Amino acid sequence: MAATEQAMYRDHRYRPRLAHREDSRWLLKALHEAAGELENQLWGLGEEELRWRPAEDEWSLKEIAGHLRDCEERYLHRLRLVVELDEPEIPSFDAESIVPERDYQELDLYELLESFARLRRQTTYLLWSLDPEDWERRGIHPYLGPLTITQIVREMSEHDLGHLWQARRLREALARRRSQPS
C-alpha cells in the first residue's frame, strides 16, 4: 500500500471506501473465475454422465450449466437497469424454478458453456467499468426492496458457489458410480 493510501486508511473517513474497493475486487474475481470452474467440473464427461441425475428431483450437470446461463441473463439485465436508470424497478425471478421450465438435457453443452461465459464477460466488463460510488446505485426489488449493485453481485457470487459445489458433488458421485462393479 502506498504511503498516501496508508495515511488515508488510518483516517477513518476513508476506511469504508477502501473496504468497498476490496469487496468489489473480490466479488469481481469470484464472478470472473466461476465460468472457468464450471467448465472444469464438466470437462471430459460424456453425454450420459452430463445428463445423469442422482435422484429424480435433483439436477444433472447439464441442467446446472443451463440454469447458471439463464440466471446470468437475468442478473445482467438487473445490473444494466440499475447502472442505466435511477432506482429502477428490477424484476424478480425464482431461480430454482428455471430448470423445470427448460429442457436443458437436449441442449448442446458447449453452446451452454460458451453462452454462460459470454454473458459473464459482459457482466464483469460492466462491473469493471463502474466507479466505486456506482456500486451503491440501487434498484427496487418487488419483494426485497432496495438492492445495491454490491448486493446483487454478492447474491450472484453466492448463487455461483452453491451451484459449483453442487456440480462438484455430482462429479464425485459420478466417479463413485463408475468405480462400482456392475
pLDDT digit string, tens, across residues 31-81:
999 989 999 999 999 999 999 999 988 999 999 999 999 999 999 999 999
Who's near 87: CB < 8 A, 6+ residues apart?
Answer: 138, 139, 140, 146
Q: Report the pLDDT value the prediction gives residue 1, as an integer from 0 to 100.
A: 41
Q: CA 8 to CA 17: how far, in whole Å?
A: 10
Q: Report the pLDDT value the prediction gives residue 100, as an integer from 0 to 100.
A: 61
Length of the chain: 182
Mean pLDDT of 106-127: 94
Q: Report the pLDDT value the prediction gives residue 153, as an integer from 0 to 100.
A: 96
Burial of 81-110, coded b for 16+ CB within 10 Å and e otherwise, reads bbbeeeebebeeeebeebbeeeebeebebe
Least confident of 85-89, 95-99, 112-116, 153-157: 95-99
Percent of the chain with pLDDT over 90: 70
Q: CA 151 to CA 54: how far, in whole Å?
A: 33
What is the CATH number assigned to the segment(s) 58-182?
1.20.120.450
Q: What is the pTM of this model?
A: 0.83
- CA distances (Å), 54 to each of 37, 102, 165, in order? 21, 19, 15
SS3 147: strand
